[in-house]
A and B are shown apart, each in its own frame.
Chain A
């Protein structure tokens, strides 16, 4: 509570109001993990330090870098497919109501299919140990989110801006680029943020169950399981989590800042 003195002095009170609380939470989590690991068999739960050591070993062997690249590639390619197809369908559905009525229910059905079911179906349709099955699984899992957000984006474009553009006889290509696209982006980005999280997890799951051609994170996890190498398994999990974060904060958020600079300005002299 702001304004009320915190029992035990000012420094602790200042801490609870800052982002450092988040770091404190993470440190507590790692500490609890460490204590739990000390009390259990190393075959079952390695300590954080052992996990890090396993991660470094994997990195030194080059397997880590290769897997990180391959899985990021799978995620982004599958995701790009979903954005292209879902975006095109969504734009058409946003503009023409018949397209929306035609495609909408199909997309709802796709969205209802559990992701693990897509993996099973991909085995039948594309076979195992190839990239196409993984890409298909990722794309089909993310496509409904992209479609829905683009439809909503196109439909909610400010009518008064369209009338303004019409009064200047704006050509269709410019109307799409200067009026529709920036507005749709504001709907698409939140969908991309949640979609990439899903794509990332589905990619690792697909890689583990479908194999795939590359030495991916999923394949690494599978091999750790085969060798009952728990520290290595934990290291792969850690890598997946870290890369997921990196994707959002190193790729997507800067991309949004670049595409939507107007959102990142302070209130001026208004």
Chain B
């Protein structure tokens, strides 16, 4: 369980986050949305322990968090396989073992042996993001922190990867904090939606979709979305 209580942050140029609180249960997905520049990434960095907040408290019972960035951030000089194994290497896992783990995971991510042998510049954008997702999952985290991981992809790639990610989250009972500026994506992925206002950000709304992710078809997503937008414009 991750509990953020009354988090405030100021980089020295004014308040970015103003008393934001949220709770993330094991095995659940919180989708964090809001206008760009509202401090979503800042909150993610605080949740990851990469940034010390100016105020408020962070309590995390998760054992290992892994980060997926908006851009794949792969090492250009390592093959897809070695990029997936990067986090394992940082943990000191021996070469043969981490390659085996990375290969198995690579297959699960939809990458074949040819793709795993290639360098990032030889892969398509969608495949690169699969490698990046694989790298995060390889360290067997119980908490995934995702910073708009699919925003650079086209519609159909994005839908494929959303489905893959939801499958992996269910399979491994992961908790995920999923930052996105795309409200439809938030409705599709989140067990809970937390919406932030423009900076200095506060939680402007919270919402729980009433269907499990597997049953959220396009129609459900768009209906929920329009209901949400009506609700937001009324307040």
The residues of A with any CB-CB pair to B shorter than 8 Å are 160-161, 163-171, 174, 178-179, 182-183, 260, 262, 265-270
Contacts and interface: CB of A to CB of B under 8 A. Distances in A.
B189 to A, nearest CB: 21
A161 B87 contact: no
Interface of B: 48, 50, 66-67, 69, 71, 73, 75-79, 86-87, 89-90, 118-119, 121-125, 139
A266 B66 CA distance: 32
A269 B122 CA distance: 6
Contact of A266 (B71, B77, B122): B122
Contacts of B87: 168
Given A160-B69, A164-B67, A270 B119 contact: no
Contacts of A174: 89-90
Given A169-B90, A270-B121, A270-B124, A182 B75 contact: yes
Nearest to A162: B73
B90 A168 contact: yes
B50 A167 contact: yes
Given A262-B79, A262-B119, 14 more contacts: A160-B73, A168-B66, A168-B67, A168-B86, A174-B90, A178-B86, A182-B76, A182-B77, A183-B77, A262-B121, A266-B122, A269-B123, A269-B124, A270-B124
A79 B164 CA distance: 52
30 contacts: A160-B69, A160-B73, A161-B75, A163-B50, A163-B73, A165-B86, A165-B90, A166-B50, A167-B66, A168-B67, A168-B86, A168-B87, A168-B90, A168-B139, A169-B90, A170-B90, A174-B89, A178-B86, A178-B89, A182-B75, A182-B76, A262-B79, A262-B119, A266-B122, A267-B122, A268-B118, A268-B122, A269-B123, A270-B122, A270-B125
A178 B75 contact: yes
Contacts of A179: 75
B46 to A, nearest CB: 13
Contacts of B66: 167-168
Contacts of A178: 75, 78, 86, 89
B234 to A, nearest CB: 39
A163 B121 CA distance: 20
